[in-house]
């Protein structure tokens, strides 16, 4: 364990004994450690008590993964009565266990056999994910590893989810991710019992889904100029710069992804973000705008002013669909007709967030609409639009969900709300009797920086792993039956590739998985960190990237009564020592250890810090210029 046990309360260590090597994420509802181990060998047999196609698919996934890592080609045995030895048995319960529901399972491991039982195939699938986590970390590998003892500790597990909606949102617009990369994202998420992939498919920077009746959406809207640097600050593209960066999913691609996800018990929620965030659509069909002009897909150049006006933002370019234009609703009817046919999930997400209304405020068409429909303000204009969109989506046999701005001006009947601006919108929607998915940026926006800005690619805000782990989808005073579940969001303005997407998602997606699956009372931060560290080892084997930011110090800057700069350091993970230098060299564990707030020497130019657990370096060396320390101190005045 490399002293990871130091993170646990003493009473837990006494109780757990060797059980500390069991590191399952998300934490099961019940787990009892028993004596002995089951050893998986080349002669281990597979038993299945059903011919159900979905169960057979789960068994085949398991056999493929075992063969990939161990080389064992496990054979399926005929018959079987749960008394054979050296077998792994998959069984659907003959009498449904109401406690387990559709996604729960029981897992019983003894030295003689492994038995996974469930009401439905999905439960067996999640039981397999737990079984993988009981196997040695090498099971995560893509090639055969020699010399591994494939033992599974004897346990008895009863497990089922806290929430039915356990989602991750993947923004494939700001930067396009290929079909194969989306499949990899699905592969990673299902290991932690997520069952909902929210695909953000349209925005100002691209339109990523083929709509056959509207070909310009992908001929024009899917492409922009390639830029590198900090998104949102790029220079405007010049006419000679080629618009060849981007891409889209054909309808066959979408069908393939939907099936790939469904085979792994994941639903895909499509999002078409309107009426704001619509520059790619307007660039394709300019007649959809209230404001005549020549439009181009945004390539990352600034087109919004943030922190101004009563709404907190204002558009420099009109990036909205026009609520007063009947062509817009004809356009959306075509879009949602094809989207509804491609995605079997019961919901379609219509966005509705961050709609700049400053161009609407001076538009004659909008003024005429307000007079005709007796709309008092711009919120009611957007509400008029949302309600018409809801009718269109409903006519396709789907339910509508949108970001919490769709509450403004009055919520469409039957609409569900995804609350992102904290919990406030979700609370308001639930009190009105609407279903809610909690996705507050305060806890689950995993595109936010996860360590100090001096180390992380700069984004709007910071979100530490410990804060994410505090997420609870059910706010106080709300009917829990209206909270469908929770979701983490990975926006990709600053995420250019899959490796960086992985870095931003993990380990914070571990935390969200536990918040939406495990019983609230089972959450334990120190034990969670112990388990995260074991999963880092598995990710190393799988060559999946993750962020080590949880090991790195948090900086608090002050001044003492003499005006000297004081730097206070703390770690969110217990049991770490911090070492530092002011002499421009690179500290290790032989340097001074941090024990009290540091006074910055008068002529120092750099503070460098690093964390260790015993003799092992855990965090990266962080270099903090003294000029940055001075800036942070000045901001506190």
Give the active site residue among 108, 203, 408, 572. Answer: 203
> Residue 611 in contact with residue 591, Cβ under 8 Å?
no
- The b-or-e profile of 232-251 (16+ CB within 10 A means b, else e) is bebeebeeeeebebbbbbee
DSSP 59: H
State the alpha helices, DSSP H only, in 506-582: 508-517, 525-542
d(CA 65, CA 63): 6
Dihedral angle sign, alpha carbons of residues 100, 103, 109, 115: positive
Residue matched to tokens 């001044």: 559
Q: Which of 271, 354, 493, 572 is catalytic?
A: 354
277 is an active site residue: yes
Q: What is the separation, in whole angstroms, between the first and last Cα of the chain?
A: 45
User: How far is 525 from 531, CA to CA, in rounded Å?
Assistant: 10
Choice among 200, 277, 349, 535 that is catalytic: 277
Cis bond upstream, residue 275 (ω within 30) = yes
- How many whole angstroms separate alpha carbon 325 and alpha carbon 333? 13
Closest CA to 540 of 517, 507, 494, 571: 507
- Cβ–Cβ under 8 Å, residues 343 and 270: yes
Q: What are phi and psi of 589, to 5 degrees?
A: -75, -5
Task: Look at strands 416-419 and 196-200 and give their pairing.
Answer: unpaired
**From CA 543, how far away is CA 536, in angstroms rounded?**
10
Residues contacting residue 88 through CB under 8 Å, at least 6 positions apart: 40, 44, 45, 46, 47, 62, 74, 113, 114, 115, 116
Angle at 209 between CA 255 and CA 327, to 5 degrees: 125
CA–CA distances in Å: residue 490 to residues 169, 300, 439, 486: 6, 17, 11, 14
Q: Which of 565, 313, 557 is nearest to 453 (CA)?
A: 557
Q: Which of 120, 104, 65 is nearest to 88 (CA)?
A: 65
For the question of residue 318 being annotated catalytic, the response is no
Residue 267 pairs in a beta bridge with 196
Summary count for the chain: helices (H), strands (E): 17, 28
Per the annotation, the verdict on 354 as an active-site residue is: yes
- Which of 352, 331, 335 lies closest to 274 in space, CA to CA? 352
320 exposure class (CB count in 10 Å sphere: 0-12, 13-18, 19+): buried
Query: What is the full DSSP assignment across 312-346?
Result: SEEESS--S--TT-HHHHHHHHHHHHHHHHH--SS
Nearest residue to 564 (alpha-carbon basis) of 496, 618, 630: 630
Which residues are annotated as catalytic?
203, 277, 354
């Amino acid at each position: 364990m490399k002293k990871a046990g130091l993170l646990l309360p003493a009473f837990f260590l006494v109780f757990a004994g060797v059980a500390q090597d069991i590191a399952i994420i998300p934490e099961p509802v019940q787990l009892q450690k028993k004596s002995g181990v089951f050893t998986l060998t080349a002669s281990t047999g597979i038993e299945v008590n059903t011919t159900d196609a979905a169960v057979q698919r789960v068994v085949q996934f398991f056999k493929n993964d075992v063969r990939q890592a161990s080389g064992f080609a496990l054979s399926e045995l005929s018959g079987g009565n749960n008394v054979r030895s050296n077998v792994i048995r998959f069984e659907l319960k003959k009498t449904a266990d109401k406690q387990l529901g559709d996604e729960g399972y029981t897992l019983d491991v003894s030295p003689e056999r492994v038995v996974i039982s469930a009401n439905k195939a999905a439960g067996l699938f999640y039981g397999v994910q737990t079984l993988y986590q009981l196997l040695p970390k090498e099971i995560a590998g893509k090639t055969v590893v020699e010399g591994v003892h494939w033992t599974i500790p004897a346990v008895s597990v009863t497990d089922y989810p806290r929430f039915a909606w356990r989602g991750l949102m993947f923004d494939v617009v700001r930067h396009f991710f290929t079909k194969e990369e989306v499949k990899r994202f699905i592969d990673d998420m299902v290991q932690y019992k997520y069952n909902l992939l929210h695909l953000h498919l349209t925005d100002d920077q691209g339109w990523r889904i083929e709509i056959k009746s509207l070909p310009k959406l992908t001929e024009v809207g899917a492409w922009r100029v390639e830029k590198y640097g900090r998104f949102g600050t790029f220079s405007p593209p010049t006419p000679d710069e080629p618009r060849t960066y981007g891409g889209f999913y054909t309808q066959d691609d979408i069908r393939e992804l939907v099936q790939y996800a469904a085979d792994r018990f994941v639903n895909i929620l499509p999002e078409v973000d309107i009426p704001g965030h619509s520059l790619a659509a307007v660039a394709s069909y300019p007649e959809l705008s209230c404001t005549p002009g020549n439009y181009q897909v945004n390539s990352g150049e600034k087109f919004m002013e943030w922190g101004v006006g009563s709404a907190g933002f204002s558009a420099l370019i009109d990036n909205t669909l026009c609520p007063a234009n009947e062509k817009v609703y004809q356009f959306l009817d075509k879009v949602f007709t094809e989207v509804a046919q491609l995605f079997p999930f019961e919901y379609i997400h219509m966005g509705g967030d961050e709609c700049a209304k400053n161009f609407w405020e001076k538009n004659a068409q909008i003024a005429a609409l307000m007079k005709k429909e007796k709309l008092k303000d711009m919120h009611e204009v957007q509400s008029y639009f949302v309600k018409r969109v809801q009718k269109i989506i409903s006519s396709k046999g789907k339910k509508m969900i949108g970001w919490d701005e769709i509450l403004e001006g009055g919520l469409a009947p039957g609409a569900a709300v995804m609350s992102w601006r904290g919990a406030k919108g979700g609370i308001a929607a639930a009190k009105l009797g609407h279903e809610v998915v909690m996705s507050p940026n305060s806890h689950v926006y995993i595109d936010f920086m996860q360590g100090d800005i001096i180390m992380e690619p700069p984004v709007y805000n910071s979100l530490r792993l410990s804060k994410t782990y505090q997420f609870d989808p059910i706010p106080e005073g709300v009917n829990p039956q209206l909270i469908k579940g929770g979701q983490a969001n990975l926006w990709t303005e600053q995420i250019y590739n899959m490796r960086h997407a992985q870095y931003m998602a993990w380990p914070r997606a571990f935390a969200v998985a536990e918040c939406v699956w495990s019983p609230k009372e089972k959450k334990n931060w120190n034990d969670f960190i112990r388990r995260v560290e074991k999963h880092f080892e598995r990710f190393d084997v799988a060559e999946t990237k993750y962020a080590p930011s949880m090991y790195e110090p948090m900086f608090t800057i002050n001044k003492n009564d003499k005006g000297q700069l004081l730097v206070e350091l703390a770690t969110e993970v217990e049991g770490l020592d911090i070492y530092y230098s002011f002499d421009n060299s690179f500290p290790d564990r032989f340097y001074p250890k941090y024990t009290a707030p540091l006074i910055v020497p008068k002529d120092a130019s750099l503070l460098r810090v690093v964390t260790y657990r015993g003799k092992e370096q855990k965090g990266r060396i962080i270099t903090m210029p003294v000029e940055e320390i001075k800036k942070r101190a000045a901001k506190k005045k």
